[in-house]
Amino acid sequence: MYLPTVIVDSATGERIVFDEDASSEERLVWDESKPANVEPPPTHYHPETEERFVVREGHLVVRVDGDEHRIGSDEELVVPARTPHCSYTEDDAARFRREVVPPGRWREFLTTRFACSHAVGELSGGRSLLQSALLLRAYPDVVVPERPPRAVQRVLLPVLAVIARALGLELCHSYPRDDGDASAA
């Protein structure tokens, strides 16, 4: 899988730069820019990883177990593994550092997610649900939606994945290569 150093979500404008020097077998570190008013993803949790947010500029809202935390410059928040949460921006953009411990398949997950936005455009409605089912089935060790309950997801996601494939959707999109990207070699 092609894993560039810089990835951009073409639908939302979110941008990630993986910090190769700070990352290791124990952690994955990246700098992220998120434009203002990016809608929150569904509340979710990470089965195996702790997630750390350190805001550099602007404000980031992180909802943890239903409580909203508005994090400003030089503030940080740690979300333990298996803790329901989501992060988003409101009226101002945010630039922040994220770290996950252990890294697992996070980089592959993020690259695949952003590659989908390049391949199929903004996901909304039924298409979004089906594309998300493919992504969640491929990376259950990285992200799990809080709802519906996990037992329902175990039945529902395989069915949605079959429907997605029958309609011609696929998960294995390659992130577009940039001839100037040194990590493409």
Tell me the per-residue pLDDT of 16-62, one tens digit each, with 9 for 90 and over: 999 999 999 999 999 999 999 988 889 999 999 999 999 999 999 99
Clarify whether residues 94 and 25 are in a common domain.
Answer: yes
Clarify whether residues 149 and 117 are in a common domain.
Answer: yes
Clarify whether residues 48 and 131 are in a common domain.
Answer: no
Q: How many CB atoms lie within 10 A of CB 134?
A: 20
For 95, left (φ over 0), alpha (ψ -120 to 50), or beta?
beta
Domain harbouring 29, CATH code: 2.60.120.10
Q: Does 182 have pLDDT greater than 50?
A: no
Final residue before a domain boundary, out of 53, 79, 101? 101
Q: Which domain holds residue 34?
A: 6-101
Separation CA 85–CA 62 (nearest Å): 7
**What local confidence, expressed as pLDDT, does residue 122 receive?**
64
* Contact yes or no for 47/82 (Cβ under 8 A): yes
Which residues make beta-bridge pairs with 21? none
Clarify whether residues 111 and 67 are in a common domain.
Answer: no
Examine residue 179 and state whether it is found in any structural domain, yes or no.
no
pTM for this entry:
0.90
Average pLDDT over residues 144-169: 94
Residues 143-173 as b or e (16 or more Cβ within 10 Å = b):
bbbeeeeeeebeeebeebbeebeeeebebeb
Clarify whether residues 90 and 11 are in a common domain.
Answer: yes
Clarify whether residues 97 and 122 are in a common domain.
Answer: no
Average pLDDT, the chain: 90
Domain count, the chain: 2
**What local confidence, expressed as pLDDT, does residue 3 receive?**
93
Q: Three-state DSSP class for 153?
A: helix
Examine residue 24 and state whether it is found in any structural domain, yes or no.
yes
Examine residue 134 and state whether it is found in any structural domain, yes or no.
yes
Q: Could you tell me which of 30, 46, 27 has the C-alpha nearest to residue 95?
A: 30
**What local confidence, expressed as pLDDT, does residue 34 receive?**
97
Separation CA 111–CA 5 (nearest Å): 10
Examine residue 184 and state whether it is found in any structural domain, yes or no.
no
Q: Three-state DSSP class for 178?
A: coil
Clarify whether residues 24 and 71 are in a common domain.
Answer: yes
Instruction: Tell me the two tokens of residue 71.
Output: 């994090």
Clarify whether residues 29 and 83 are in a common domain.
Answer: yes
Query: Each residue of 113-144: pLDDT tens digit?
Result: 888 887 776 655 567 888 889 999 999 999 99
Examine residue 122 and state whether it is found in any structural domain, yes or no.
yes
DSSP code of residue 171 = S
Clarify whether residues 68 and 27 are in a common domain.
Answer: yes
Clarify whether residues 29 and 112 are in a common domain.
Answer: no
Clarify whether residues 119 and 157 are in a common domain.
Answer: yes
Clarify whether residues 12 and 92 are in a common domain.
Answer: yes
Examine residue 175 and state whether it is found in any structural domain, yes or no.
no
